[in-house]
Amino acid sequence: MIIEYHRPEKIEEALELIARKDPHTVPMGGGTVLATPKSEDLAVVDLQLLGLNKISQTAKLLKVGATATLQDLLQLDQINPELAKTIELESTRTLRQSASVAGALVSADGRSPLAIAALAMDAQFVVEPEKENLSFGEILPLRKNALKERIIVAVHFPRNVFLAYEYVARTPADLPIVALALAKWPSGRTRLVAGGFGAQPALALDGKDDSGLEDALSNALHGSTDKWAEEEYRQEAGKALLTRAIAGIKEATK
């Protein structure tokens, strides 16, 4: 239950509020996550007046303010089309218009298309205080502790990366049963992420090149049986998805 609501105009005020021990105080971007009923009492710090909704691009980086919405990002000119695909699949248009990019990533589970792509792209979070950079991969397994008394101010996605996202779902618009994202840099660096199950996407490979992709994917899918699918199915489907992703990257890099 939300027992206090604050809307500071300076980042310093927001940081002071979330540093409080009592009541437990959390930042709020779009509010879609906090709209879910909670058993504990919470104070919330609305970040909407801090100017964290701007999106800009450089030659190498897409810089997304933490409170920019998923729809803001989706409508951006020159966005990576595969990244755009994952945003569109993340949720309905109505939710995309209010859900913040940072909030969607921080609350994501293993079935989140955007989180799968962001992990493959090695997205970076800029956090206050001190504008520290933390990789999404660092934050994922320890989200509560890694962000304690910190506020995400931006999410950075690399622009000089080729991305392929492939998935299988019950319907084309549904969350995936099995999915993967393959990212490749001009240097040859390659990252493969598997998802569609579990508490978070699984980083299968981060290498200097694309050698060992098949074995890496098989290892990432080990033990993936859940109520949606058996591991055997995910292993077979994953092989087909990887073939498509590799072909997509080759086509993009011609």
3-14: pLDDT as tens digits: 888 999 999 999
Whether 31 and 12 share a structural domain: yes
- Cβ–Cβ contacts within 10 Å for residue 19, how many? 12
| Overall number of domains in the chain | 3
Whether 141 and 69 share a structural domain: yes
Q: Which residues, in sequence order, are CB contacts of 145 under 8 Å at separation 6+?
A: none
- Determine the Cα–Cα distance for residues 76 and 70; give it in Å rounded to an integer: 10
- Cβ–Cβ contacts within 10 Å for residue 90, how many? 23
Task: For residue 38, give its domain range.
Answer: 2-48
Whether 181 and 82 share a structural domain: no
- Determine the Cα–Cα distance for residues 199 and 96; give it in Å rounded to an integer: 21
Angle (CA) 152-158-160 rounded to 5° is 170
Position 35 scores a pLDDT of: 52
Whether 169 and 200 share a structural domain: yes
CATH of the domain at 190: 3.30.390.50
Last residue of a domain, one of 125, 158, 191: 158
Position 143 scores a pLDDT of: 84
- Determine the Cα–Cα distance for residues 121 and 37; give it in Å rounded to an integer: 32
Whether 129 and 141 share a structural domain: yes
Whether 103 and 60 share a structural domain: yes
Last residue of a domain, one of 158, 181, 198: 158
- Determine the Cα–Cα distance for residues 174 and 190; give it in Å rounded to an integer: 27
Whether 154 and 57 share a structural domain: yes
Whether 57 and 134 share a structural domain: yes
Using DSSP's 3-state secondary structure scheme, residue 222 falls into: coil
148-186: pLDDT as tens digits: 889 999 999 999 999 999 999 999 889 999 999 999 999
CATH of the domain at 95: 3.30.465.10
Angle (CA) 156-159-164 rounded to 5° is 105
- Determine the Cα–Cα distance for residues 24 and 44; give it in Å rounded to an integer: 9
Position 38 scores a pLDDT of: 56
CATH of the domain at 31: 3.30.43
Instruction: Report the Cα 164 to chain-centroid distance in Å.
Output: 15
Whether 89 and 148 share a structural domain: yes
Whether 34 and 60 share a structural domain: no
Q: What's the mean pLDDT in 18-35?
A: 77
Tokens matching residue 241: 């998805």
Distances (CA, A) of 168 to 89, 162, 245: 12, 21, 13
Question: CA-based Rg of the chain, rounded to a whole angstrom?
Answer: 18
Whether 245 and 170 share a structural domain: yes
Whether 138 and 174 share a structural domain: no
Give the confidence band of 195 by pLDDT, cuts at 50, 70, 90. very high
- Determine the Cα–Cα distance for residues 193 and 180; give it in Å rounded to an integer: 5
Last residue of a domain, one of 123, 158, 193: 158
- Determine the Cα–Cα distance for residues 73 and 54; give it in Å rounded to an integer: 10
What are the φ/ψ torsions at residue 179 (nearest 5 degrees)? -150, 160
Please name the helix (run of DSSP H) or strand (run of DSSP E) that holds residue 117, with its range, or none: helix 113-120
pTM of the model as a whole? 0.93
Position 32 scores a pLDDT of: 59
Q: What's the mean pLDDT in 103-129?
A: 96
